[in-house]
A = this chain, B = another copy of it.
């Protein structure tokens, strides 16, 4: 792990207790030394659950476990370890999930199928399950309702800062809280989900409604971000509703009474997703890409992703070069409808390219100043229709090569 903190890091918000959740972290010594690497969340009886997972065709054993566990719609505990992803570990990996869930279930007093497990770190090494189950009893005994920051730190791998977000929403006039933590820094190109993210609320929301809210929220947050175009085998976002708040009954299909809750949940999801981008491996610039004028919203997002994933665009940003020629290239390679002669490009709000050429009299001075900042804005108008989309990413620097040329060693 790199000791240097990302220059794009944000401070952790205050994280008050959330009724129905107790949590904490411990040192299980799985891979790292002198830091916590095992996190346990205990959830109140009656907690409902929703989850979205990686679309990678080679998912880790914990992803398979969680998918099966979600069928029940109920959750009582989550066990997360850092340093070993338990991916491509065959039968041993499946057994590890079952043993971990059984150990936690015994401590919490619930069926193993109400325990969710998640792991990130190195792929292809057997997870030493004994170290994990040995550390669980003491960890369980020390769970606290103010353990959110501890948990946010315990799930980190190459992350340089902990990530959390919290909001208060109202349901039928009653305040409920939504708090989430996330980890992620490299292998970030979520597609239906992202690295690890755990969100809880004290609201009482049926599992189907929870699922609907989570899927919608992820589309505009985690699924609109990329660090390096590589979709992880472990991506997991879990949302739990402990049902401790005293608001009116929410129907299974959710509906209008969840409008404010949905808005605040989306804010939490976006905060967490953007925190992952801000901690992108080696990142020095945080980049927002807005595409307008596309034939559809889906097309706009694909064009934005092609720009966000282009190594040439990302290295130009790292070099503080407003190289809009590379943006033209990335738009053109996206495979979406585009017309060179209708394309317009702005950087930092200054339109540089329009009608198939440079804007006449274009003055680079304000753009050069913008490129020296930490937050870069790129706007592309395709001039074809009304579809728009936004994607967030970071630059590609020597730091990324340093981290990933020697991660295992």
What is the interface of chain A, defined by CB distance below 8 A to chain B? 55-59, 85, 87-93, 122-126, 186-187, 189, 191, 228-233, 309-312, 315-316, 318-319, 321, 323-326, 328-341, 343, 353, 355-358, 396-398, 400-401, 404-409
The answer to whether A319 and B406 touch (CB under 8 A), given A230-B312, A343-B58, is yes
The answer to whether A401 and B401 touch (CB under 8 A), given A123-B328, A331-B57, A332-B231, is yes
B residues near A91, Cβ cutoff 8 Å: 356-357
The answer to whether A357 and B89 touch (CB under 8 A), given A329-B123, A343-B58, is yes
Q: Check B404–A333 contact: CB distance below 8 A.
A: no
The complex places the Cα of A242 from the Cα of B118 at a distance, in Å, of 65
- A85, A318, A408 — most chain B CB neighbours (10 Å): A408
Q: Check B228–A355 contact: CB distance below 8 A.
A: no
Q: List 27 A-B contacts (CB under 8 A).
A: A56-B329, A56-B332, A57-B332, A57-B337, A58-B332, A59-B340, A87-B329, A88-B353, A88-B356, A90-B357, A93-B357, A123-B323, A123-B325, A123-B326, A123-B329, A124-B324, A124-B325, A124-B353, A124-B358, A187-B312, A189-B333, A230-B311, A231-B329, A311-B400, A318-B405, A319-B407, A323-B408
A168 to chain B, nearest CB (A): 37
- A58, A85, A312, A319 — most chain B CB neighbours (10 Å): A58
Q: Check B325–A122 contact: CB distance below 8 A.
A: yes
> Closest B-chain residue to A338, C-beta based?
B57
The complex places the Cα of A133 from the Cα of B53 at a distance, in Å, of 59
The answer to whether A407 and B189 touch (CB under 8 A), given A57-B340, A328-B124, A341-B90, is no
B residues near A406, Cβ cutoff 8 Å: 319, 321
B residues near A396, Cβ cutoff 8 Å: 311, 401
Q: Check B398–A401 contact: CB distance below 8 A.
A: yes
9 more A-B contacts (CB under 8 A) besides A88-B340, A232-B329? A85-B325, A88-B353, A89-B356, A90-B356, A125-B358, A315-B401, A319-B406, A319-B409, A321-B406
Q: Check A329–B187 contact: CB distance below 8 A.
A: yes
> Closest B-chain residue to A319, C-beta based?
B405
Of the residues B228, B316, B330, contact of A312 by C-beta under 8 Å: B228
Of the residues B124, B228, B316, contact of A311 by C-beta under 8 Å: B228
Q: Check A231–B333 contact: CB distance below 8 A.
A: yes
